[in-house]
Amino acid sequence: MQTTNIGAMGAPEQLIAEATVIGDRLLVFSCSMEKFEVPFSSLPALKRIPINERSNFVIANNGSYLYWESADIHLDLDAFRYVTDPKWKQKFDALKSTHDQVFGKAIATLRKKYKLRQSDIIGLSERQVSRIEKGEGSTKADTLRLFAKAHGMEFDAYLDAVANAIGHIPEEFTLF
pLDDT tens, residue by residue, 59-85 = 999 999 999 999 999 999 999 999 999
What pTM does this model have?
0.66
Average pLDDT over residues 94-98: 89
Element (H, E) at 36: strand 35-39
Res. 7: pLDDT tops 50: no
Element (H, E) at 48: none
Res. 1: pLDDT tops 70: no
Q: Which of 121, 94, 96, 122 is nearest to 108 (CA)?
A: 121
Distance CA 111, CA 151 (A): 8
Q: Is the dihedral of CA 72, 76, 82, 85 positive or negative?
A: positive
Domain architecture of the chain: domains with CATH: 2-84 (3.30.2020.40), 87-169 (1.10.260.40)
Distance CA 115, CA 63 (A): 47
State the pLDDT at residue 139: 85
Distance CA 21, CA 36 (A): 12
Return phi, psi of residue 33, to 5°.
65, 25
Contact between residue 69 and residue 60 where contact means Cβ atoms under 8 Å apart? no
